[in-house]
Amino acid sequence: MRLKTIFILALFTLFISRASAQEETGAHVVDSIIQLHGNVLIPHASVLGEDAFINILRKYRVNKPDVERLKQLCINREVCKYIFNYLPMNPLTRVLAKERADSLYQDSINMLLIPENYHISGHAISLALCLADFLKLPEKSRSALMDSALDFARRRRKNPYANFAVDEVKVLRKYIKPDDLWNIYVEKNKEEAIRRSHAAWDTLRNANLTYELDSDRQVVATQFYYEKEMTMRDMYVDNEVVCERNLSDLYKTRTKLIVMYDAYMAKKRIRKENERKVVGDEYTW
């Protein structure tokens, strides 16, 4: 098992001897601890690593060629953290060291997961990495995109509600051609556009207002409209003027289904507001 990785050595540099730690020192400490305690340390840490690996497989898609590397990363992370139990550290330093190990290894794990799992980092940048071969992105561009994707993933881990849409589109514009970027955002929004178009149809159908409409044609056309609308909002999230200008032009092309649905929902909102006012008047003395 290769434990003398850059991650472990970086951790020793930070936490063993801030003034004089060298890579050789870190490697020697690792060797000594494993030689003395490996028969206990490695089995225990390996079980924890295997458990973490199985949990990842249960929650995320993993490319088959990456499975063994992912498993090894999970085990190495736990071995690395376990090693700190044998070092002369105060409890706070030991906890910080283990947190650092988690963070460093999580980046390596996320490098394998992000292209196949779009909710870990930004959806669009994850799609770009997934389609890197198809887009014929050079290695330098892939590396830069992955660095940004890892940063977004860290921010999302700290705050699940973090919004980095502006940062994401600015990064993507640097490395992705405009037409390709448009297609990436269309793909990102496709599922939601399908949901919205079917929801609009179902709402009108339940209100008995669809007898003049061709279901298949209207639903598909409405899906395409919603894809364009959401993609424009994504593409121009950092430029409100350009975004509103494009949306204004798009608005003129609304499908009959959308026009009827918007009108129906507007009437419904007005009706509810009037009912609320009536109820309020009844309790006004």
User: Does 5 score more than 70 pLDDT?
Assistant: no
Q: Are residues 192 and 285 in the same domain?
A: yes
35 inside domain? yes
130 inside domain? yes
User: Does 47 score more than 60 pLDDT?
Assistant: yes
Q: Are residues 108 and 153 in the same domain?
A: no
124 inside domain? yes
Q: Are residues 216 and 265 in the same domain?
A: yes
Q: Based on the number of CB atoms within 10 Å of its own CB, is 200 exposed (0-12), middle (13-18) or buried (19 or more)? A: buried
Q: Are residues 161 and 186 in the same domain?
A: no
Lowest mean pLDDT among 14-18, 123-127, 228-232: 14-18
Pair of tokens at residue 249: 């032009």
Q: Which of 94, 116, 138 is the last residue of a domain?
A: 116
Q: Are residues 111 and 12 in the same domain?
A: yes
At residue 17, the pLDDT reads 47
Distance CA 251, CA 262 (A): 12
pLDDT tens for 133-153 read 999 999 999 999 999 999 999
The reported pTM is: 0.83
Which helix H or strand E contains 179, and what residues bound it?
Answer: helix 178-206
- Residue with the bigger pLDDT between 4 and 81: it is 81
Length of the chain: 285
37 inside domain? yes
Q: Are residues 27 and 86 in the same domain?
A: yes
Q: What is the mean pLDDT of residues 166-190?
A: 97
Q: Are residues 170 and 264 in the same domain?
A: no
Q: What is the mean pLDDT of residues 241-246?
A: 97
Share of the chain above pLDDT 90, in %: 68
143 inside domain? yes
CB atoms within 10 A of CB 139: 8
Q: Are residues 277 and 209 in the same domain?
A: yes
Domain carrying residue 167: 119-176
1 inside domain? no
At residue 90, the pLDDT reads 86
Please, which residues have CB within 8 angstroms of residue 177's CB and are 6 or more apart in sequence? 135
Q: Are residues 277 and 230 in the same domain?
A: yes
- Interhelix angle 165-175/139-158, rounded to 10 degrees, is 170
User: Does 7 score more than 50 pLDDT?
Assistant: no
pLDDT tens for 98-120 read 888 888 899 999 999 999 999 99
49 inside domain? yes
- Number of domains the chain is built from: 3
- Residue with the bigger pLDDT between 279 and 39: it is 39
164 inside domain? yes
Q: Are residues 192 and 279 in the same domain?
A: yes
User: Does 205 score more than 50 pLDDT?
Assistant: yes
